[in-house]
Every structure is written in C-alpha cells, then in structure tokens.
C-alpha cells in the first residue's frame, strides 16, 4: 500500500537549528520506569520507536547533578562521564534508523528530595520539598545559581559527546528549578531573579544562552515550557505571562516544546479530557515565533495531525502516549495502513509503571517494556511451529489479543464467546462515563481479526466441557474472564461482609446492565481503582442518592498512579455524593448499612436501599474445572480467568500465551535481566 497524498505534509523534513528531522513525528520526552535502572530496556524501547518512523525521540528527565536526585524514580542520569554509556546506547539505536535523539536535561530542585544522595535540595526560595518528605529546600544564593548554570553546561557538553542531536532547557510541568524561578507562585525572591517576569525569566535566559554556546554549533537547543500553570492569577497563564515569555524569547531557542502544568493536567486521561484539549492554551505560539513548535494532544488521527500543521498550530506532532500505544504509528500512515494504527486509549496505565518504579506497560500495546526483556517486537512475531488449531473460549481483552497474535503467527484459530458482542468486561465498561475510548481495545482487535482468514469469531456460542471436547482443537485456551463478587470479600474483609435478610446487593455488572435501586445507595469501594468512583458517578447521574464508602483515606486511591485521583474525588464532591473515607462496611441489613471507622472502630448507620460491592472479582472457572479434570493435552487459562487484574494485564496475558505457544520457554526466569555490577573501590 502507498501513502495517501493528503498526508504528505506529515513527512516533510523540518530544521531544528543545525539538525534536520526527517518528518514531523516527534516523540516528546516521557518517563518510562526504565531509565538508568533498566537501561537496555529503555534503549531498545526508544530504538523500536525510531524503527517505527518517529523522526525525533527524546529521553525522559535526565538528572544533571547529584544535588538533584530523583530516586526512587527510574529516570535518566548524566552526573558525570560514567553515566554516558547508557545514553550512548540509546542514541546509537535511534541513529540506526536516521532519527534524531533529544536529551531533556533537568535540575529538579524542590521536586527532588535527594533520598539517595542525602544532599539538601535547593529552590528559588525556602520551601518544603514537593513530596511529603519531612525536608525543606533551601533558597539558592548567587553562587548556587552560578553552579547550576555550570552544571547544566557541563551536562549539555556530555550530552553532545554521547551523541544527542537536540538538548533541552526544561521549564515545564513545574518539575524543574527553572520553572520554579519562572513561576510567581514558587518564586518569592526580591533580587534580580525575582519579582518581574523579566527577572524571573533571567535564569532561563542564562541557561539557554549557556547551552547554545556550549553545543549549539551541532545540536538543536529546545525549550520545553508550560505556557499555563492552570492556577489563574497565582501562576503563569497562556493569555498573560505565558504568552509574554514566549514573545520575550521568541527567536532564541531552536525549537519550542509547549505544554501546560502540571503533569497530571498535561497528561490528563481520556476519562476527563478529550484529545487536543491543550490547543486552547498553546495555539498562539506559532503566531509569535518563526521557530518550529511541537505540542501534544494524544493525537492518533492523521487527518487531525494534518489540520494542526495546515492551520499553523504546530510544526511537529508531539506524542508520548500515542507513541507508546503504537511505536509504528508514523510508518503505518506512511505505508497507507491507517486502519492498523493501535490507538492510545488515554488510560495512563503507562504512567502507573513509572509511578511504581517498574518498566511501563500499555493497555493497547502488550510489547511495551518487553522489547529487550522478552524480545517482543510490536509488529513482528515468530511464525507458527506446527499446523495446529487453537480454540479460544472468551472474546474479552485477553481472548481477542490471543486470537489476533496467534492469527498473525499463522495458526488456525476459533474464538467463541457466549455474548452477542465481543469485548468481555469492556462491553459494559466502555459505556461508563468517560470510558468510550477504552473501546479501542476491542475495536482494534476485532478489525484485525476480521482481516485474517485463519481466525474465526463466533458470538452467541456458549461452550461446555462436551462441546470443547467435541471441537477437537489441538490447543484450548480459556479466557472466560471474571465477575464482581457480591459477598464483600476483599482486602478489608477477607471473610466477606455480614448480609442480613432483605438487604439488596448489586455488583458493577448489575449497574452496567441498567439496574437502579429505588432509594439511597452505598457504593463500597475496596478495589481503589476506577470502578468504585465510576459506579458512584453513574448512579448519581441517574438521580440516586449515593454514599461512597472506602477503607482508604481518599477516593479511588490507586488512581494517583494514573494521575486522576484529585479529579475523581472532586467530581464526586461536585456531584453531591456523600463520601465516607477511612470507613469499612461492616454489615448490611434491609434498608441500612453499618459503617465503622478503620481507626477507632466507631460505628454509624446510614440508610441504604441497596449496596454496590466493588471489592474483588472472581474468575469464571467452571469450564476450567471440568476441562482440567478431563485432562486435555493442551489447556491454558489467560487474563482475568487466570488472575483478575487490569485490562492491560489481560491483554499482556493473551499476547504472552500466543507468543509462547509451541515455543521452548525457560521456566526458571523467562526473561532477560539487567544485574548490578560491583564497583571497584571508593568513588568508582
């Protein structure tokens, strides 16, 4: 297939100072949970994106000095020459495909508690560090500022030696000391580095000049700037000082990478923000500078990308999450394979990996983070090892991905599901408030399967032990999923919740099916991810009085990892949901629910026509029990049927099953590891 000429503009080269990007696809800096901790995984992940057609591929934040240590976050590090080989490996992989490598150098200041180095953090003014560590950052004096400039220049020179083509001056997301100097909210200085915007921008201007002087002969020098802090008059705004600053420095950098603060706003989930919402803030930038501009917006549609370029909004289509969901997105557009794009669903499971200090994962792309570790390529897979047939029972996320990948390998696959719609748990979840884009998990896979003559999907086809045996497949894979429990068993109540006669119990499946009680509802959330909050939201939208109860000290606490918790709780408050945090559900009776404080055991009773249990999901294992007893020669469970978890975990499980079928897998440690090496002597 050939590229649609409508998209030719996306493949034009663009100059960034002394270097030239081969097209307009730009992977902006993003964290990944690998960095210096899993450097081979990080380097191979970036190399694969270059192979996939991204013209510019950047690091995550790279520490420039030991007095600003991000530990335990696994970012980049460039303190001295000993850190250079890791980043050189990344650059070599990116250059292998003719792409440019960018380094986002950063001094985080009050954002880094220096838990590893134990140095005292520094900031524009005396202030506690941003984390909850019992520690304060000290105000920088003039010598500190001179040192910071020197450290940044030295790091830029190391980046140039490593092989980077673009070097960043980072002033975005309120994650850098430079951004703290810029912000009237953070900067309380009264000297020439505080007060007016011109003074607060002095450090940015100086570091930019230092960087251009050091590496600008061969490297493009970029500014990454949050043009709006979303704090109103207390911070910079895109129609105030954010615009003024860009006008002030318009022609000084080689590229503007523009966004909004903070990270949870810039990388908002699809549940709360539509694709491209940042345009309202960054749309003016091209009108005040002749330098190329890159911005993000979770863009996956090539038509939207072309519109952004033609309308003078952006020069580069920036991406973090879409490049994770599909590292080959540019190549697919270039090759005329638009329908094969694996579109980001905006769930931020990728962010959760970084927040938990492990290699990131992706709901749509099960190979993310596994490129080096398991040798999984996002587009290539080993052919089948034998002319064999596979029966998969269950067309949820795990079953769909398993069928798709096995079909790609060349196996004859039959996928059977008892429902009248493919998707499993996503049949209902994609219809919950804000989760429409999550349906892309199903839509991508059903489309791919529909194009494979060796894969057949049969709906309304319940399977029993007898019908599975009669089918006679060489391999049987059970992906029957899981269902929410109604007994309250969970983390807080491992033996369940006492339920009296006459009490009405609902599960999320009941609510998704349309059941609405006549009276007040208690939503008991012992799951702590998105489902409890969505149950409360859906019921409240339909007019129910809702009491949200959770043993956690806050609503949907795990969604901190996906950058949503503050929005989830605010939305329930604004909707009038009564919230009882740090409370357990200890008993249910007809018309009443008994709650107990998890700290004091004090109880109180609330009216309750029904309770929605969001505590745990139990695997659907009746078919497994029967077939396991029948001793089929090749029988496996995958996804929620094996162990209920996230949708990303289910997709990964299905993909892993497909990769491993017929292969000789090491059952000791089935993936490569990077092990620490002992240093010789002090200071080496």
Domain borders along the chain are: 5-355, 389-481+623-660, 485-618
* CATH (residue range 485-618): 3.50.50.60
pLDDT for 682: 59
Rounded to whole angstroms, the Cα distance separating 462 from 93 reads: 48
pLDDT for 683: 55
| 5-355 and 389-481+623-660 have identical folds | no
Residue 595 and residue 587 in contact, taking contact as beta carbons nearer than 8 Å: no
pLDDT for 529: 98
pLDDT for 665: 84
Residue 266 is among the residues annotated as catalytic for this protein: yes
Q: Which of 26, 107, 170, 193 is catalytic?
A: 170
Residues whose CB falls within 8 Å of the CB of residue 656, separated by 6 or more in sequence, listed in order: 366, 638
Q: Which of 30, 31, 180, 281 is catalytic?
A: 31
Tokens of 637: 């469970």
Rounded to whole angstroms, the Cα distance separating 350 from 368 reads: 9
Residue 173 is among the residues annotated as catalytic for this protein: yes
SS (H, E, C) 389-424: EEEEECCCHHHHHHHHHHHHHCCEEEEECCCCCCCC
**Can you list the residues of the chain whose pLDDT is less than 70?**
682-684
What burial class does residue 572 get, using C-beta atoms within 10 Å of its C-beta: 0-12 exposed, 13-18 middle, 19+ buried?
A: buried
Residue 131 and residue 50 in contact, taking contact as beta carbons nearer than 8 Å: no
Across 441-511, where does the E strand assignment appear?
A: 455-458, 475-478, 482-484, 505-506
Q: Which of 83, 228, 266, 417 is catalytic?
A: 266
Residues whose CB falls within 8 Å of the CB of residue 366, separated by 6 or more in sequence, listed in order: 376, 401, 648, 651, 652, 654, 655, 656
Q: Which of 65, 70, 152, 173 is catalytic?
A: 173
The arrangement of secondary structure in 5-355, i.e. its CATH architecture, is Alpha-Beta Barrel (3.20)
pLDDT for 636: 96
Q: Are strands 617-619 and 482-484 parallel, antiparallel or unpaired?
A: antiparallel
Rounded to whole angstroms, the Cα distance separating 659 from 655 reads: 6
Residue 170 is among the residues annotated as catalytic for this protein: yes
Q: DSSP string covering 558-612, please?
A: GGGGGT-HHHHHHHHHHHT-EEETTEEEEEEETEEEEEEETTT--EEEEEESEEE
pTM to 2 decimal places: 0.96
Beta-bridged to residue 294, according to DSSP, are: 257, 316
CATH, domain 389-481+623-660, list 3.40.50.1100, 3.40.50.10470, 3.40.50.800, 3.40.50.720: 3.40.50.720
Q: Which helix (H) or strand (E) holds 58?
A: strand 56-63
């Amino acid at each position: 297939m050939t590229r649609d000429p409508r998209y030719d503009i996306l493949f034009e080269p663009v100059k960034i100072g002394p270097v030239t990007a081969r097209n307009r696809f730009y992977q902006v800096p993003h964290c990944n949970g690998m960095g210096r901790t899993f450097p081979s995984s990080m380097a191979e992940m970036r190399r694969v994106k270059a192979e996939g057609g991204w013209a510019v591929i950047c690091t995550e934040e790279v520490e420039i000095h030991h007095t600003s240590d991000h530990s335990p976050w696994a970012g980049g590090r460039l303190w001295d020459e000993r850190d250079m080989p890791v980043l050189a490996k990344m650059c070599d992989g990116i250059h292998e495909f003719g792409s440019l490598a960018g380094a986002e150098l950063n001094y985080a200041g009050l954002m880094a508690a220096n838990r590893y180095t134990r140095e005292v953090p520094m900031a524009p003014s005396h202030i506690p560090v941003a984390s909850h560590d019992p520690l304060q950052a000290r105000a920088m004096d003039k010598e500190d500022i001179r040192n910071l400039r020197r450290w940044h220049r030295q790091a830029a020179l190391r980046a140039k030696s490593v092989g980077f083509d673009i070097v960043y001056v980072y002033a975005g997301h309120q994650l850098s000391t430079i951004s703290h100097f810029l912000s009237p909210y953070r900067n309380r200085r009264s000297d020439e580095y505080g007060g007016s915007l011109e003074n607060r921008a002095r450090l940015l201007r100086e570091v930019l000049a230092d960087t251009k002087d050091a590496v600008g002969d061969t490297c493009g020098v970029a500014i990454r700037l949050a043009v709006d802090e979303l704090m109103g008059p207390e911070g910079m705004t895109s129609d105030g000082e954010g615009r003024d600053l860009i006008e002030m420095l318009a022609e000084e950098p080689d590229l503007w990478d523009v966004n909004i603060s903070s990270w949870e706003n810039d990388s908002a989930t699809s549940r709360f923000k539509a694709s491209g919402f940042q345009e309202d803030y960054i749309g003016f930038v091209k009108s005040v500078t002749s330098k190329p501009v890159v911005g993000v917006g979770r863009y996956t549609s090539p038509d939207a990308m072309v519109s952004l370029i033609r309308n003078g909004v952006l020069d580069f289509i920036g991406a973090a999450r879409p490049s994770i969901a599909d590292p080959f997105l540019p190549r697919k557009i270039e090759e005329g394979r638009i329908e094969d794009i694996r579109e980001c669903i905006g769930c931020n499971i990728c962010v959760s990996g970084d927040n938990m200090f492990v290699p990131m994962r992706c709901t749509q792309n099960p190979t993310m983070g596994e490129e080096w570790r398991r040798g999984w390529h996002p587009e290539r897979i080993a052919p089948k090892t034998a002319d064999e047939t596979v029966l998969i029972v269950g067309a949820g996320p795990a079953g769909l991905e398993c069928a798709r990948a096995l079909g790609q390998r060349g196996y004859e696959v039959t996928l059977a599901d008892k429902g009248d719609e493919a998707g499993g748990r996503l049949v209902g979840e994609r219809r919950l408030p804000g989760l429409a884009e999550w349906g892309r998990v199903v839509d991508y896979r059903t489309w791919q399967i529909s194009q494979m003559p060796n894969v057949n999907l049969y709906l309304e086809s319940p399977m029993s032990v007898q019908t599975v045996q009669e089918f006679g497949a060489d391999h049987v894979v059970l992906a029957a999923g899981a269902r929410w429990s109604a007994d309250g068993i969970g983390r807080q109540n491992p033996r369940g919740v006492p339920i009296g006669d006459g009490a009405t119990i609902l599960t999320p499946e009941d609510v998704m099916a349309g059941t609405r009680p006549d009276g007040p509802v208690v939503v008991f959330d012992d799951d702590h991810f998105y489902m409890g909050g969505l149950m409360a939201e859906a019921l409240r939208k339909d007019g129910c009085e809702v009491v949200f109860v959770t043993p956690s000290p806050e609503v949907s606490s795990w969604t901190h990892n996906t950058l949503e918790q503050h929005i989830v709780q605010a939305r329930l408050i604004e909707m009038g949901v009564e919230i009882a945090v740090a409370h357990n559900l200890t008993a249910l009776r007809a018309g009443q629910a008994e709650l107990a404080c998890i700290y004091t055991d004090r109880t109180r009773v609330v009216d309750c026509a029904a309770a929605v249990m969001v505590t745990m999901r139990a695997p659907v294992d009746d078919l497994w029990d029967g077939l396991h007893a029948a001793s089929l020669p090749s029988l496996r469970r995958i996804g929620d049927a094996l162990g209920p978890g996230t949708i990303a975990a289910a997709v990964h499980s299905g993909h892993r099953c497909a990769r491993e079928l017929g292969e000789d897998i090491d059952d000791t440690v089935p993936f490569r590891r990077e092990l620490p090496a002992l240093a010789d002597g002090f200071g080496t």
